[in-house]
C-alpha cells in the first residue's frame, strides 16, 4: 500500500476564503499540488482578478468568486454557484480575516464588531452553508485559520484575540456536533508569518535597525525567524486529507516553537 495516497486530495473541491494572496493563496497552492480543485473568493472583483492572475502564473486552474463572507445571503448564493459550476465543497478553509491594531480604550465598538464579524461570524456563516452537503456526501473537512491570539493576549489586538479565541471554540464545537457525519473540523494557528498584514511589524527603522517587535519575535522563536506562508501548506494538506480522518477539534500551531519556549536568559 502506498501510504502517501492518504495525503492525496485528488477529486476534492477545496474552497479557501480570501485566498487571492498571502496565507490563503499559499494554502490553496499546496492543496492544488496535492490534487485538489481550488475555489477561492474575495470581497471585490479586482482582488479576485488579482488572485486569478496569480493562480494562472502558478499553472493552477482556480475558480474565483466575489463574495462577502459576512453576508449570509451572498454566501449561500456562492455555495449554490460553486456546487453548480465546480462541485460540492469537500474542503473548506476559513482563511478570510482582518486585524485592527488599536488600544482597547481607544477602539470604537463598530471597529470591534467589524473584526468579530469577519474573523468569527464569517467562519460560522460559511461553515453552516457547506456542512449540509458534506453531511449528505458522507464527510468533509473544515479548517479554520486560528492564531497565536487564540491562546494569548497582546497589546492593541483585543478584538482580534477575542475573535480568534472564539474561532478556536467554534472549531471544537463543529467537531463535536458533526463528527458523527465524518466531518472533521480543525484549526491551524499560524505563528508570526511574513505577510503584507505583518509587514509594518518588520519595517526597518530610520537608522537601519530592525523593528523592535521584529527583534522580539525572532528572539522568542526557537526557529529564529518569522514563518513563511508556505510553511502552512503541509499542515493544511494533512488536515484536508484522509491522513487526518481521526483528528478532530484540534488546533495545530505552526509557530516555529514559540509556544514551547520561555526565551533566552538575558546575557
For the segment 155-166, what is each residue's pLDDT rounded down to a tens digit?
999 999 999 999
Distances (CA, A) of 20 to 99, 147, 267: 17, 20, 44
**Model pLDDT, residue 1:** 58
pLDDT band of 19, cuts 50, 70, 90 = very high
**Model pLDDT, residue 197:** 73
- Rounded Cα distance, 7 and 3, in Å: 8
pLDDT band of 208, cuts 50, 70, 90 = confident
**pLDDT tens readout for residues 93-119:** 999 999 999 999 999 999 999 999 999
DSSP, res 9: -
Contact 156, 111 (CB under 8 A): no
3 assigned to active site: no
- SS3 track for 77-135: HHHHHHHHHCCCCCEEEECCCCCCCCCHHHCCHHHHHHHHHHHHHHHHHHHHHHHHHHH
In degrees and rounded to multiples of 5, residue 65 shows phi and psi of -135, 145
Q: What mean pLDDT comes out for the span 226-255?
A: 98
User: Mean of the per-residue pLDDT values for the chain?
Assistant: 96
- Tell me: pLDDT of 266 over 80: no
**Model pLDDT, residue 141:** 99
- Tell me: pLDDT of 63 over 70: yes
pLDDT band of 223, cuts 50, 70, 90 = very high
**pLDDT tens readout for residues 51-60:** 999 999 999 9
Minimum mean pLDDT range among 10-14, 84-88, 214-218? 214-218
**pLDDT tens readout for residues 113-132:** 999 999 999 999 999 999 99
- Annotated catalytic residue: which of 7, 55, 65, 160? 160
Q: Percent of the chain having pLDDT more than 90?
A: 90
**Model pLDDT, residue 230:** 97
Amino acid at each position: 500500500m502506498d501510504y502517501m495516497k492518504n495525503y492525496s486530495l485528488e477529486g476534492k473541491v477545496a474552497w479557501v476564503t480570501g485566498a487571492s494572496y498571502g496565507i490563503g493563496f499559499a494554502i490553496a497552492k499546496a492543496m492544488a499540488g496535492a490534487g485538489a480543485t481550488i475555489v477561492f473568493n474575495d470581497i471585490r472583483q479586482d482582488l479576485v482578478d488579482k488572485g486569478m492572475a496569480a493562480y494562472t502564473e502558478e499553472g493552477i486552474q482556480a475558480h474565483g468568486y466575489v463574495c462577502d463572507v459576512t453576508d449570509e445571503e451572498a454566501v449561500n448564493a456562492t455555495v449554490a454557484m460553486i456546487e453548480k459550476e465546480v462541485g460540492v465543497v469537500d474542503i473548506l478553509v476559513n482563511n478570510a480575516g482582518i486585524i485592527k491594531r488599536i488600544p482597547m480604550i481607544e477602539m470604537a465598538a463598530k471597529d470591534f464588531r467589524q473584526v468579530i464579524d469577519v474573523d468569527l461570524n464569517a467562519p460560522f456563516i460559511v461553515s453552516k452553508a457547506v456542512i449540509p452537503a458534506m453531511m449528505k456526501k458522507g464527510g468533509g473537512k473544515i479548517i479554520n485559520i486560528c492564531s497565536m491570539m487564540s491562546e494569548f493576549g497582546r497589546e492593541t489586538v483585543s478584538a482580534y484575540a477575542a475573535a480568534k479565541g472564539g474561532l478556536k471554540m467554534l472549531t471544537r464545537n463543529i467537531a463535536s456536533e458533526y463528527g458523527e457525519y465524518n466531518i472533521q473540523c480543525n484549526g491551524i494557528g499560524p505563528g508570526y508569518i511574513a505577510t503584507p498584514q505583518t509587514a509594518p511589524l518588520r519595517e526597518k527603522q530610520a537608522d537601519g535597525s530592525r523593528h523592535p517587535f521584529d527583534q522580539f519575535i525572532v528572539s522568542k522563536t526557537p526557529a529564529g525567524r518569522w514563518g513563511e506562508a508556505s510553511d502552512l501548506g503541509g499542515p493544511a494538506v494533512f488536515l484536508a486529507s484522509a491522513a487526518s480522518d481521526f483528528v478532530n477539534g484540534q488546533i495545530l500551531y505552526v509557530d516555529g516553537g514559540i509556544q514551547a519556549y520561555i526565551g533566552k536568559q538575558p546575557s
